[in-house]
Structure 1
Amino acid sequence: MTVSGIVVVIPAKNVEGVIETQLRALNAQSMLDFDVIVSDNGSSDRTRAVVEAWPAAFSSLTCIDSGDRPGVAHARNRGIECSDAPLILVCDSDDVVGPGWVQAHAAALAKADAATGPLLLTERGRRGFGEWGADGVPIAAGYLPYTPGCNMSFRRQVFKSLDGFDAGLWRGQEDVDFGWRLVKHGFSISHAPDAVVEYEQRVGLLAKVRQQFKYGRAFADLCSRYRADPIPVQGIKWRGRWWLSFLRRGLRHPVKSWRVTYPALAFQAGRILGSVQHRVRTPMW
């Protein structure tokens, strides 16, 4: 069990080359009274060895095995279950938390049930690719707010009340589902402006397209879970205007827009395929 009242849970799989950067950022926190649990979701590289050899400046560092079922949702659940800390913080293994990240989340949880903060989009550690969630708690699909999985915190009571993350959403969108259920259960989400995370993007067009196609399919899977309380879907005219504008941008600047346009198209393709498979109407996000 953990020593302090705060635990940071990091799902990980085959990240031996990047997880040290995140651990280094946690070593540099403005407050160090917290524990870290890395949940190894079936790594075939030296991820576990790297973690176990890391000289933690914070209270404790543990690496646990969650490889019996794939997906970050299961990895997070298993990591959280291995701790009894009342305050739970979650980040990813390939990102970088800011120096005041832990302290900002702890302060936010003193007034709310859950919290999230800004994401600075980076590629290969370089900034300048935009910000996300800087002005407040993000809202997914124009429906309800949520806490992105790379920058979230919540009280243990929340985790227990929701029975954790939905491990069936192994392709993604499990953080959106968690946030939506959190709000539906009457819990509050706070925006912590100082809880900043450098959010590393996929490098290369193919990697971006594959990721977004998977997320599109996952979004349809998510929507299928809300049939009893359907997510609002845009009308035919709105969709037609969106596609027209989308195609114009792509054709006008086919090279310059690949960073956004083609991955967005992959998401829509995955969403449409998933919608057909699950026989569900889905918004265009």
Structure 2
Amino acid sequence: MKKITAIIVNWNDKNVIGECIQSTLNQDIDQIDIIVSDNGSKDGSIDYIRKSFPSVQILENCKNLGFGSAINKGLAVAKGDYLIFLNSDLKLNPKCIGELAKLLESDSSIGGAIPKILHIDQQKIINSLGVLINYTGIAYPNLLGQKDPGYQEPFESACGGIFMLKREVFKTVGGFDEDLFLYHEDHDFSWRIRLAGWRLKVAPQAIMYHHYNFNKGVLKYYSSEKNRLHILLKNMEIKTLALISPALIVIELCQWFHAVIHKWFFLKIKSYIEIIKIFPRILIKRKKLKRLRKVSDKEITRVYQGTLTISGTNNPLLTYLVSPALNIYWKIIHHLI
């Protein structure tokens, strides 16, 4: 078995991180090192981990760096052949890491293995089974809130929120984009893995349980919108951007309507301003990605969705008008990419 490093990001989660660490230590395979990358916790997390889990390596970040940057701190010192990224509010089934490693070992074209994540309080209900991506850049957990369908065989996914990857993948694509403080950083990272020619697959037998609380607040809206546009401009070919531009305009109009209703008008404007400010850096990233790219957008978008679902939203206009229209347009343009 390959040596594995688990990197756990913590921010004031003393009440649950012990369960996460213990379940990682209790895996039915050996050779697992654990690194906790702590984002400036003030709740006594670090002292608790030191006393309760002396074998765990702790990285003390001076402030909340966000998920991606905290993971990068761990990647800089990780020694494993396989690397798994975890949130502190996850509990792992004892076979989880072994199943993920088995999937990675089964096929050299698989760069990342994604677990099945269930709600910890409703363990037959899906939190995510991979992540679905609409071609306008909106990402949402596959089968969120639905009963576990009991899939047995691995299947391909466009994105993984939590996953294990091979060290060679990290060496090739680099770490997380630190301009994406929160939200969509996993989408961007998954996109680069696929651009480099690897596939992402879900391992349904690799099970985690999540203390899940849906958040649709101000920070999520602002960060999600800014980062969605950022990664589209960064990763997508110009031809593809041109083809999807009518759909992007529709989504932007919907987002403006949403922003006005919730009094987030100025946040939407702020997201545009931030994109304009960072645009020169986005262009530099695009040039670097040209050297990384081994597949076209035809392959990247092969597993994208035409329909659109937004977590926590039950809007008839979205369900019966916007989503079907987006799907029809996707069927028209996809063969042109």
Q: Same fold (TM over 0.5)?
A: yes
Q: TM (normalized to structure 2)? A: 0.63
Cα distance in 2, alignment partners of residues 201 and 269 from structure 1:
29
Cα distance in 2, alignment partners of residues 88 and 268 from structure 1:
40
Cα distance in 1, alignment partners of residues 263 and 116 from structure 2:
25
For residue 206 of structure 2, give the secondary structure of its aligned residue in structure 1.
coil
TM-superposed CA distance for 1:212, in Å, is 3.2
Q: Which moved more, 1:174-183 or 1:31-40?
A: 31-40
* Matched residue, 1:43: 41
TM-superposed CA distance for 1:108, in Å, is 1.3
1:227-249 residue CA offsets vs partner (Å, 9 max, x unmatched): 65455456389759989xx99xx
Q: Which moved more, 1:88-97 or 1:210-219?
A: 210-219
Cα distance in 2, alignment partners of residues 272 and 184 from structure 1:
31
Cα distance in 2, alignment partners of residues 240 and 83 from structure 1:
40
Contact 2:116 2:207 in 1 (8 A): yes
For residues 61-210 of structure 1, the aligned pairs below 5 Å read: 61-67=56-62, 70-110=65-105, 111=107, 112-120=110-118, 122=119, 125-127=120-122, 130-134=125-129, 137-142=130-135, 145-148=158-161, 151-202=162-213, 207-210=215-218
TM-superposed CA distance for 1:114, in Å, is 1.2
* Matched residue, 1:235: 247
Cα distance in 1, alignment partners of residues 192 and 248 from structure 2:
28
Which structure shows the higher helix fraction?
2
Would you say 1:278 and 2:290 are equivalent positions? no
1:197-252 residue CA offsets vs partner (Å, 9 max, x unmatched): 2233226xxx5424532333332333342365455456389759989xx99xxxxx
TM-superposed CA distance for 1:72, in Å, is 1.3
Residue 271 of structure 2 aligns with an amino acid whose one-letter code is G
RMSD, aligned CA: 3.7
Contact 2:115 2:205 in 1 (8 A): yes
TM-superposed CA distance for 1:276, in Å, is 6.2
TM-superposed CA distance for 1:41, in Å, is 1.8
TM-superposed CA distance for 1:92, in Å, is 0.5
Cα distance in 2, alignment partners of residues 117 and 161 from structure 1:
23
TM-superposed CA distance for 1:165, in Å, is 0.8
TM-superposed CA distance for 1:169, in Å, is 0.5
1:76-115 residue CA offsets vs partner (Å, 9 max, x unmatched): 0111211221110111001222221111111111022211
Q: Which moved more, 1:76-85 or 1:219-228?
A: 219-228
TM-superposed CA distance for 1:174, in Å, is 0.8
Q: Which moved more, 1:225-234 or 1:160-169?
A: 225-234
Evaluate the alpha carbon distance shift between residue 35 and residue 277 of structure 1 in structure 2; reply closer, same or farther with a 3 A threshold.
Answer: closer
1:19 to 9, 14, 17: 17
Residue 274 of structure 1 aligns with an amino acid whose one-letter code is S
Evaluate the alpha carbon distance shift between residue 50 and residue 210 of structure 1 in structure 2; reply closer, same or farther with a 3 A threshold.
Answer: farther
Cα distance in 2, alignment partners of residues 273 and 191 from structure 1:
36
Evaluate the alpha carbon distance shift between residue 228 and residue 43 of structure 1 in structure 2; reply closer, same or farther with a 3 A threshold.
Answer: same
For residue 127 of structure 1, give the secondary structure of its aligned residue in structure 2.
coil
Residue 145 of structure 1 aligns with an amino acid whose one-letter code is A
For residue 113 of structure 1, give the secondary structure of its aligned residue in structure 2.
strand
Q: TM (normalized to structure 1)? A: 0.73
TM-superposed CA distance for 1:6, in Å, is 0.5
Count, aligned residues: 250
* Matched residue, 1:220: 229
Residue 86 of structure 1 aligns with an amino acid whose one-letter code is D
Contact 2:13 2:89 in 1 (8 A): yes
Cα distance in 1, alignment partners of residues 174 and 64 from structure 2:
17
Contact 1:39 1:63 in 2 (8 A): yes
Contact 2:183 2:220 in 1 (8 A): no
Identity across the alignment (%): 19
Contact 1:101 1:195 in 2 (8 A): yes
